[in-house]
Amino acid sequence: MENFFYSNEGAEPMHVHAEIGEMECKFWIIADEIEIKEDFSFNMGPASKREIKKIIYQHFDLIVEAWNNYFKK
């Protein structure tokens, strides 16, 4: 599985993309509330979404820090 953000998306609110094989999704990161919200998913069932959410929450601080460092926020 890959979690990532695109370098040209700094004008958008904080978010992360994930891909597993043919599955893909995007979650908004609400840092102040330590919350995530699904933006979209493709070809992804509920169990896969739960796994992605779990991984995002496990690495929440790292994702926020990486976003802020990369986009200088």
pLDDT at 73 over 80: no
State residue 6's pLDDT score. Answer: 78
DSSP secondary structure letter of residue 1: -
pLDDT at 8 over 70: yes
- pLDDT digit string, tens, across residues 34-57: 999 999 999 999 999 999 999 999
Q: Which of 27, 22, 12, 24 is nearest to 59 (CA)?
A: 27
Q: Binning pLDDT at 50, 70 and 90, where does residue 3 land?
A: low
**Domain definitions of the chain by residue range:** 2-71
CB of 19 closer than 8 Å to CB of 1: yes
- pLDDT digit string, tens, across residues 9-43: 888 999 999 998 899 999 999 999 999 999 999 99
